[in-house]
Structure formats: C-alpha cells, structure tokens
Structure 1
Amino acid sequence: MRIAFIILAHKNPEQLLQLLRRLSHPRVDCYVHLDARADMLAFAEAAHLPQVYFIPGRIKVHWAGFSMVKATLNSLEVALSSRRKYLNISLLSGLDYPLRPINEIVDFFTIHQGNEFLDIMPEKEVAATISKLDRYHFEDIQFKGKYFLTRWINRLTPSRKCPMNFTFTGGSQWWSLSEECLRFCKEFLEQQPSFVNYFRYTWGSDEFIFHTIIMNHPEWSRKVVRDNLRYIDWSARQASPKVLGPADLPNMIASGKFFARKFDMNIHPNILSKVDAMLEDAVK
C-alpha cells in the first residue's frame, strides 16, 4: 500500500524541489498543483522527478477564496483516478517540510490506517468567526469597489444558514486523510451542488468545507484524530503563520509533529538544509 501527497505550490522552485526530494520513497506519490500565475518552466526540474505528477488545468488561487478548495479537488481528482490504492493522502503547501524521515512517515500511516488526522478548532472559535461563513464573501472575484458592494449585499440580506442543517466545523486546511474518507468527501460534493455553492461565497472555505462534511457524518467523525500532525507557529497572531527559521528548530524537534510550516528560502536560505541535518542526526 502507498501514501500520497497533494502539494499546493505557487513560488520558490528550488524549495519545492527540495521538498519533493525529501518526500521521495518507493511507496510515495506526489501530486503538485502549481498556481496558474507561476512560470511552469521554472519548475521543470521538479516536474521530471519520478513519482511526481503536476496537475493539468492549473487555476489561479486567491488567498481565502474557494479557488483554494478547487485546486485541492482538482488534485484529488487526479490522485483518485490513478490505479494506485492509498492508505493516506496528505495535503501540503509548497512551503511545508517534513520533520521526520519519509520512511518513518510511511510506517506511521501504515500502522495508523483507519485514522483521519484533522485539526478541529473549538466550537467557540468557530462561533467567534461565524461572519466568515454566514456572510457573503467574493474572494475569487476581483473588481473595483468589490468590498463596498459586499458590505451592502450583507446589509441587505439575512444571515446565511449552513446547508442540510449541518453544524459548521473548522480548523487548519492541512490534513492527512484516508483515501476512503476523501472519496466520500469528493462524492458528497459532487452530489450536493448547493453545498458547494454555499462555500463558494465564504471566506477561507478551505478551513471549513472538509471539516464540516467529515464531522457531520457519524462514521467518519468517530475516526478523526484531532491532530493534523503539523507544527505551525501562530504566536505572532497575524493572518499568516510565522515564517520558521533556525531559532525555531528546538521547538520543532520537541513538538513531535511530522510536518512543519511555513518555510521560505528567500528569507532563510539554509533552513531546509538545517532541518535535513536534524533528520540525519535523528536516525544515527
């Protein structure tokens, strides 16, 4: 049995190349969605790596827009259409990096098959950010005066209700889920266009749509381990997590997590090499 990674990338070709090389393993396939605004030629070396598949029909991904979900679903379609059977499929960004050797990651998902690794935020946090969901947002649409028009639309329309009387659930968009669970989510979305249309006009739909589907299903919700296995530093309380550097290595090691985000070689050029050295020391 194999595992797979869906990787949403938009910049830093050398960094993506290093990530893919670190994930290389006979039982691992990587499916890369490259933002349509990125130059594909700059990523040519990564595209020629074995067991790496770049997703056709690239789309422009807008932060907090449904386009992030669409890129994920397009990638998932390719992965699930392959003739391979996956124990687990993990969603990563091109700015993520593993904190464990890849053979250990493969062994972990082999041992823990039947578990769904998903970050779930407390109900109070969902309630505190409900305006992301029950108000209209048009993050994928770009035009002058958009936010002025959006404010008036939301003033003149009632609060939106979650379709199918589901309870909104959210958390980090980055997950590690079984193929069976993801097939269920994909088929659900294909069969429930009103659900898709609802989330198309939310803010940060990628942080809610899979969570809401899974946690409102009695069978799949029982299999959820409320840990997405990622080390992410939100201590700065900004819209995006901290860019990790050498000073963060001790906390990464102590976290026991399997992946970390986010890294940027334009800011810390040698950071991934330092993580590699840490991994090599760990297996000696």
Structure 2
Amino acid sequence: MSNSPSKSIGFILITHSKPLQIYRLINKLNSMFNYPLIVCHHDFSKCDLSVDRLSKNILLVSPHLQTKWADFSIVEATVQALKLMYEVPECPDWFVLLSCADYPIKTAKQILDDLTSNYYDAYIQHEKITYETYKHELRPNMLWLKNSYQRYCTKSFSFNSSKQYLANLDLKVCLEHPLLTKPFLPFSEKLACFSGSQWFCANNKAANYIIDFHSERNALTLHYSKLKYADESYFQTLLANAPHLKLQNDRRRYIDWSDGGCHPKTLLMEDLPNLLASSAHFARKFDIDIDSNILNELDRITS
C-alpha cells in the first residue's frame, strides 16, 4: 500500500455477536491497512470472542460494558474505545467507527487519500433538528427528523394520582415548544441539536475533543445519558457545535433503508453495482450467514 507515512488510520469496532464475522472484518482490515491499530469494544455478555485469535494490533476495551441497542451504553462504549486508542504513543491520524456488519468497498489507498486530501476533521451525517421541521416537515423520507425532535428536544412528565378514586388515572404531559422546554434541556441558540447516522469517521483533533468533552460533567452528556437513540445524536450535536472543527455532512457509509423498519437492508450480491457506484468507503449491513459471496467479491475488488 503506497500511503504517505505521515498519515495513518485506525478502527473502532463496536461488537456483540457473530465472532466469525468479526474475525473476517479484522483480517480484512489487517490485510488492507497493514495491521492498523484496531480498538474493539466487544460485549462478552452477549457472546464470547476468542482473544487468542486476535492479532497483536488489536486492543480490547476492558472491562467491557453491557450494551443494548439504542442505549446510551453504545455511546459510552465508543468513547471508552476512543480513549484507549488515543492514549497509545503512536495513535492514528484518523479513525473509522465500525460494527462487524460493516465491510470496506473501496481500496485502502482510496479511503486514506479521500480522508487526508480534504480539510475536514470529521465525516459525519448531521442534520439540524428544529421545532419548525418538527411541525412542518411533510416529506415521508424526512420523517426521522420529526422523530429526532420528539426523542431529543421534548420533555415529558407523568403524574399518578394517590387518591383512591383516581387510582387508574395516569396523566402524561409532553412539552414541545422551545420556550417551554428551555428550563429542562441543554439546547439553546448557541447549542443546537443535531441528528444523523451513528457511524462516522474523524481525525485525532475531533477524537480528542470528544474524549475531553465527554469526561467533563456537562448538561449535554447528562441529557443524552437518559435518552434512547443517543448514539444518533450525541456525537453529531457535540461535533457540529464545535466552532474549531470542520465537518462534512457525509458518513462515507453505504446504507440501504429501502426495506423500511428499524434496521437497514441486508446487502446481497444483487446490491454490488450500487455499492461500487457509491462514493462511500464502507457499506452495511452484511451477514455472512445470509450471503458471504458479496464479501468474497468485495475482497477481490478492494485487494
């Protein structure tokens, strides 16, 4: 691989299942990037992972956190992995956040050249979440923006009556307008809410900012620690409000949501032309138990 020695790349893996797919992804990254620094947070409470099968460039977050889908534990696991990556003497210039369902669809040279030839500090999907969008956005494909406002920018209160004759009465009040939620949320004119895909890549400048910010006792981290789907807004909000960082609103990830539902389409051989036409560096999600042939073909193309 003919990359400039002054630039390096590392990988953060957040995993909890499918050990064989984890090993395959690690072997692929080792082959493509000549054994880069890989920090893995694996939830051993979900499934085992043989440490003996891991190469020496792999660091495991220990102790691991018990993670849950759409839970703040995913954010914590990511930050712990970043801390481990950026405390080593020769930490990488760039990191890419991956799960075992991801796989590269470009060559190592294409990926690293793309990241380092621009002036951006992070490639992350980040859309501003506003009350106006929440009330007036009508496009079906933008429903997630309305959902994001509901998740992160409203405040709900529940009241249960102690009176026997009102014992079955449960009252729930949801505040939506910014004037009403202001006392309860960290957002303001100077600190906007952003949302987007969990998966992103960034340089060491952005990584250290994430680590330092998260280590402080601040209202933003406290707010997200109580919410579901924090992984789709916390890092986006943190980075997009940092005036010293330059972001590209592009996650460099191919994801197909055409099936609808909470999870993207599992990619098959039939999807290969779309993957190759994409400007993305990685794609998700893959499943070797459903179709491993597409990974075999990607190995051939990206070698």
- TM-score w.r.t. the length of structure 1 is 0.84
State the distance in 2 between where 1:52 and 1:30 align: 5
> C-alpha displacement at 1:200, in angstroms?
1.0
Query: C-alpha displacement at 1:265, in angstroms?
Result: 0.8
Note if contact 2:128-2:192 (Cα within 8 Å) is conserved in structure 1.
no
Tell me how far apart the structure 2 counterparts of residues 181 and 207 of structure 1 sit (CA, whole Å): 17
Distance in 2 between the 1:242 and 1:111 partners? 31
1:61 to 67, 70, 73: 67
User: Cα distance, 1:136 vs. partner?
Assistant: 6.8
Unmatched 5+ residue regions in structure 2? Answer: 1-6, 134-141, 157-169
1:170 aligns with 2:178: no
Q: Distance in 2 between matches of 1:239 and 1:266?
A: 20
Say which is worse superposed, 239-248 or 185-194, in terms of deviation.
185-194
Q: For 2:256 and 2:51, locate their aligned partners in 1 and report how far apart those are by CA, in whole Å.
A: 31
How many residues are aligned here? Answer: 261
Partner of 1:140: none
RMSD over equivalenced CA pairs, Å: 2.3
Contact 2:199 2:251 in 1 (8 A): yes
Could you say which residue in structure 1 is the equivalent of 2:214? 189
Displacement after TM superposition at 1:156 (Å): 4.8
Aligned to 2:225: 200
1:22 pairs with one of 18, 24, 28:
28
Q: Map 1:209-228 onto structure 2 (within 5 A).
A: 209-220=234-245, 223-228=246-251
What is the CA-CA distance between 1:46 and the residue it aligns to? 4.2
Offset of residue 171 of structure 1 = 0.5
Q: Which residue number corresponds to residue 160 of structure 2?
A: none
**Partner residue in 1 for 2:146:** 128
For 2:290 and 2:35, the matched residues in 1 are separated by: 32
Residue identity opposite 2:103 in structure 1: Y
Task: Give the Cα–Cα distance (whole angstroms) in 1 for the partners of residues 291 and 75 of structure 2.
Answer: 29
Does the CA-based 8 Å contact 2:85-2:91 persist in structure 1?
A: no
Q: Provide TM-score, normalisation by structure 2.
A: 0.79
What residue in structure 2 maps to residue 85 of structure 1? 91
- Which of 249, 253, 258 pairs up with 1:235? 258
Q: 1:127 and 1:15 mapped to 2: Cα distance?
A: 32
d(CA) in 1 for partners of 2:274, 2:37: 29
Deviation at 1:157, TM superposition (A): 6.6
Shift of 1:43: 3.3
Larger relative helix fraction: 1
SS of the equivalent of 1:81 reads coil
C-alpha deviation, 1:118, in angstroms: 0.8
Contact 2:39 2:81 in 1 (8 A): yes
Aligned to 1:147: none
Identity %: 26
Map Cα deviations across residues 75-124 of structure 1 (whole Å, 9 max, x no partner).
11101111123221111111100001224323333333643211123643
Q: Tell me the distance in 1 between the aligned counterparts of 2:101 and 2:119.
A: 26
Rounded to whole Å, the distance in 1 between the matches of 2:50 and 2:261 is 30
Amino acid at match of 1:273: N
Mark the structure with the bigger radius of gyration: 2
Give deviations 1:19-72, integer Å, cap 9, x for gaps.
1111112472111111132333x433542x131112111111111110110110
Q: Which amino acid aligns with 1:44?
A: V
In the TM superposition, residue 257 of structure 1 has moved relative to its aligned partner by 1.2
